Every structure is written in C-alpha cells, then in structure tokens.
Amino acid sequence: MRSTLIRYTPLLLLAVAWELTARLELVSSSALPPLTTVISAWLDLLMSGELIANGAVSLYRGAAGFCLACLVGTVLGIAMAWWRPVHVFLSPLVEAFYPMPKSALIPVTVIWLGFGDGSKILLIFLGCMLPVTIGAFNGARSSDQVLVWSARSMGAGRLRVLLDVVLPSALPELLNGVRTALALSFILLVTSELIVAREGLGNLIGYLGANGSYAPMYAVVLTVAFLGFAADRLFQLYMNRQLAWRA
Amino acid sequence: MSEARDMSDVQAARLGAGSVLRRTARAFGWGLAHMLGILMLLIGWEVFARTGAVTMFILPPFSAVLERVWADAVGGDLWLNTALTIYRAFAGFAIGGIVGLLIGVAIWRNRVARWFFDPIISVGFPMPKVAFLPVIILWFGVFDTSKITMVAIEVLFPVVTATVLGFQGVGHELIWSARSMGAKEREVLWQVMLPGALPQIFTGFQVALPIALIVAIFAEMAMGGYGLGGAMMQASRYADSRGVFAGIVEIAAIGYCVVKLMSYVRYRLLIWHPEALAPSTI
C-alpha cells in the first residue's frame, strides 16, 4: 500500500501542479480549467447520463471491431504459417498494407457505410486485423518442430496438432499482437469519432470543445484516456494468467 | 592429376551454371507468385468497379483513381501535400524521438528521474493520447505547431520504453569485461552500452514511425488545411470519392516507402548484429 503510494506520487504531484497553475491564473482558465472544476464537470456529465450513453456507443463500436479483427486476424495468421500457398498469396498484401497509416481509411469507411456505427466498426476491424495477423503468423511459424513431430508420431491428426501444439505455442506472440491492436483500436475509435460521428465519446469531446465548454471537454478526454489505460491493464492481467504455464 | 582437377572444375562450373539458372527461374517464379496477390487485388478492384455492381461514388475504378493521382502530381498539389505531411510527421518524430531517448537514458541512469517518470510513462503509454487533440488545439492553435506537438507526444512513449528496456538489457558480462580490460566509464557507455541497446531502441523507433504518420494524417484531417489528410478530408466533404481513393493510394505508397526506408536504415546500422542475418519477419 505504502509502496504504491510512493510509486504514484509523481502523478499526484502533477495533479496538484495542474490545480495550482489553474488556480493561480498562470494560464487562462479556459485553456486549463482547475482539476476540481473538471472533476465536478465529470460528475455532472455522469449524472445527466450523457457520459454513459456516449460511452456505451463507443465501447460497442470498439469491442465489435476489435473482436472481429482478433478472430479474422488469428485465422489468417495461422493459415499463413500453416499453408505455403496462403503465405505466398497473402504475405505481400500484408506487407503492403501493414505500414499504411490507418487513419487514411476514415473517409472511405464513411463513403461505404455512412456516419453510424458501421463505418467505425469497419475502420477498427481493418486497422486492428494486421497486427493480430502478424503476431499469429510469427508465433505459429516459430512453434517447436520437435513438438509438432512428437505429436504427429503419437498419432495426432493435423487438426489436433494445430489446436494442441501450434496454437498454444503461438499464444505469446499472438497475445502481443492483440495488445498492440487493443491500443490501436482506441486510437482509431477516438480519431474517427472526432472527425465524423453523431454520437460517441470522441464526438462528445469535439462537440464540447466547439461549444467552448472546456471543463467538461477535459473530463471526457480524461475518461477516454482512462478507459484506454484500464483496457490495457485488464488485458495484461489476462495475458499473464494465460501465459502462466510458460513459467 | 592436374587434368583431373581441371575436369572437375569444368564440371563444377557447368553444374553451377545450371543450378544458377534453375535458382533464378525459381526466384522469378516465387517473385511472380508474390506479386500475384497485389495484382489480383488491383485487377479485381478495376473489374468489380467496371461491372457497375456498385456506383462510381462507392468505388471508382482503379484506373480512374490513378488518373486522379497523376493529375495531382502534374498540378503540383501532390508534392506540396506530401512534403507538408512528411515534414509534420518527421518533425514530430524527431522531437519525440530525441526527447524520448533523453528521458529513457535519464530513467535508466538516475533514480530520481526513474521515480518521477516511471509512473507517468507506464500510465501514459496505453492511453489513446489522440484524445488530447482538442486540448492541444486549444493551446497551440490549428497550425503546424499543434500537429507536430501531437505527433511528438505519441512518438515519445514507445521510444522511452524501448530505450529503458534496451539499456537494461545489455549483458553484465560485456560491461564487466570492458571494465576489466581498462575501459573508462565514458568508453563503456559509448562503445558497449549504446551499441548493445541500439537494436531495442531501433525497434522503438520502428514502432513509433507508423504511429507518427497515423497521427500526422489524423491531425491534418481534424484541422484541415494543406497536407494529405486535409486534402482527403476536403475531397470527402465535396463527395469527391475519386479524390478520397487517390488520397488512400498516395498515403499507402508513402507509408510503405517510409517503413521500408526505416528497415533499410536499421539493416545498415545494425549490420554487425546477428539479427542482420536472420530472415526478415514481414
């Protein structure tokens, strides 16, 4: 408890510095409203239900796109490692699209699916799929050949080998890819909602900022930042638990 | 004796020629197979758009998009927008990279710096910092300063993490050997620690570079003005879908070149490292 307190003191110091800078009017209060004002604005947003309604929309979009990306990305990556023709066919495509700055896809997804949920889900799916694919591919192809041979010699079919040997040995790299994708999904969610959307947390930020209500805007920005942080920490916990067998 | 050797040499040369030919043919075949995926995608795009199954607005044919890219290039807009986007991405990348490197070294060397920065970095890294864009616009306006600041902030975190991990990962044996052979602290730092940490630091840069491009283009989209992102957003507002797809093609090409360039630089800089021999993983 005490060590945690000491560890996170710098964050506390930053919060105090924020409060003091704003209270002493070192910068204009519209550019940096005091932290306490931001917190009360956050409580107001929570009470009015705006935060929860928009947050639910955003989380739905993020979760749908992210889950689809994980599913399809894993299948593609393992197929690439398992069958040479798939690899020959897909790897140049992956190589060509992986470095593409994904935010460029925002206008296209809007052209295809409009301003609603569909375009956000498609964007997150497209953006998050390739990191998962690459993680699954690198994990699956580096699985220990001796283990594969032993399993085969003990009479396991190809499917059994895939599920019981290749998949578990691919797991560490795969989960790393998924973690990258998780961070990316939040970035893409916020950017697409800030640029084109009618609801969602990103849209709420843009709307409040355009109206000049800066304290609530800060509150929503901090909420989004916290959600991204919490998602990553939860995933890390899950990852450690899944990989506990690796000792 | 010498005749026999000559014979075997000739035979070897003949064999060599055959296998070289075969190897070239095989490499060519695989190269073609590798191109196949991309070619099929482009041809499929063109054919699908021409069949009229979807409107020109939803998916203009690839040839029409290429025409548009060509028109942009001739008109000069393409070069101006590309130069601006690259300038913003790289300025932010350089600032974030250098500051990140310095903070990383400080965390590694200094206990107070570690105490102060460690929680900030570990809490800040997983946050979607793009959400702070409106705040940054509020502080720095809508011009280059805020775009570059946004890029620098996003680049900072992966570089700091990679730098700390890189320096901490240098083997103790290497340092002890250097010291026992009489190297001064300075020499240990520059000749052992830095080269030892370089692969990891470079990985940090390689993670940060695509992020820099993503954020630069996003910032341009959100704030408008010149630049590839701004041009795309404008095309999208005027429902000019050819312009939007031209933007995607341009941005994809630039992203590809920049990332390839970076991995080439890595290969040249780390050519002494065992990893340079390993096959590349995408």
Give the residue from B136, B162, B124 showing the smallest Cα distance to B215: B136
pLDDT in tens, B200-212: 888 889 888 988 9
pLDDT score for B160: 93
Report how many Cβ contacts below 8 Å link chain A to chain B.
Answer: 158
Question: How would residue B278 be classed by pLDDT, with cut points 50, 70 and 90?
Answer: low
Question: How would residue B138 be classed by pLDDT, with cut points 50, 70 and 90?
Answer: confident
Question: How would residue B105 be classed by pLDDT, with cut points 50, 70 and 90?
Answer: very high
Give the residue from A34, A41, A39 showing the smallest Cα distance to A17: A34
B227 touches chain A (CB under 8 A): no
A6 CB-near residues (< 8 Å, 6+ apart) = B115
Give the residue from B221, B222, B204, B224 showing the smallest Cα distance to B154: B204
Whether B86 has a pLDDT exceeding 90, the answer reads: yes
DSSP secondary structure code for residue B281 in this structure: -
Q: Which amino acid makes up residue B265?
A: V
Contact residues, chain A, for B213 at CB < 8 Å: 101
- Interface probe for B, chosen from A187, A211, A213, A235 (most Cβ of B below 10 Å), is A187
Angle at B238 between CA B245 and CA A198, to 5 degrees: 90
- Of the listed ranges B6-10, B89-93, B105-109, the least confidently predicted one is B6-10
* CA distances in angstroms from B234 to A190, B146, B220, B237, B253, listed in the order given: 20, 20, 11, 5, 20
3-state helix vs strand vs coil in chain A, percent to 5: 85, 0, 15
Give B125 to chain A, closest Cα distance, Å. Answer: 8
Whether B116 has a pLDDT exceeding 70, the answer reads: yes
Find, in chain B, the residue whose alpha carbon is nearest to that of A207. B134
Find, in chain B, the residue whose alpha carbon is nearest to that of A81. B281
Cβ <8 Å between B128 and A107? no
Tokens of B18: 């055959």
Instruction: For A27, list phi and psi in degrees, rounded to 5.
Output: -125, 165
Q: Over chain B, what is the mean pLDDT?
A: 84
Of B33, B134, B216, which is closest to A206 when you measure between CB atoms? B134
Give A34 to chain B, closest Cα distance, Å. Answer: 14
Of A92, A214, A226, which is closest to B35 when you measure between CB atoms? A92
pLDDT score for B5: 46
Tokens of A54: 């928009």
Cβ <8 Å between A103 and B33? no
pLDDT score for B276: 61
pLDDT in tens, B154-196: 999 999 999 998 898 887 888 888 888 888 888 888 888 888 8
- Of the listed ranges A16-30, A66-80, B94-108, the least confidently predicted one is A16-30
Instruction: For B87, list phi and psi in degrees, rounded to 5.
Output: -60, -50
pLDDT score for B1: 40
Share of chain B above pLDDT 90, in %: 23
Tokens 């593409």 — which residue?
A100
Complex-level ipTM beyond the 0.85 threshold: no
> How far is residue B42's CA from residue A97's CA, in Å, rounded to a whole number?
13
Give the residue from A106, A71, A144, A183 showing the smallest Cα distance to B230: A106
B114 touches chain A (CB under 8 A): no
Whether A59 has a pLDDT exceeding 60, the answer reads: yes
> How far is residue B181's CA from residue B119's CA, in Å, rounded to a whole number?
38
Contact residues, chain B, for A98 at CB < 8 Å: 259, 282
Contact residues, chain B, for A7 at CB < 8 Å: 118-119
B260 touches chain A (CB under 8 A): yes
B58 CB-near residues (< 8 Å, 6+ apart) = A111, A112, B241
A246 CB-near residues (< 8 Å, 6+ apart) = A172
Question: How would residue A65 be classed by pLDDT, with cut points 50, 70 and 90?
Answer: very high
pLDDT score for B241: 87
Give A147 to chain B, closest Cα distance, Å. Answer: 22
Q: Which residues of B130-144 are buried (b: 16+ CB within 10 A; e: fewer)?
A: bbbbbbbbbeeeeeb
Of B33, B37, B251, which is closest to A100 when you measure between CB atoms? B251
pLDDT in tens, A115-125: 888 899 999 99
Share of chain B above pLDDT 70, in %: 90
Whether A10 has a pLDDT exceeding 60, the answer reads: yes
Cβ <8 Å between A111 and B57? yes
Tell me which of A99 and A228 has the higher pLDDT. A228
pLDDT score for B279: 52
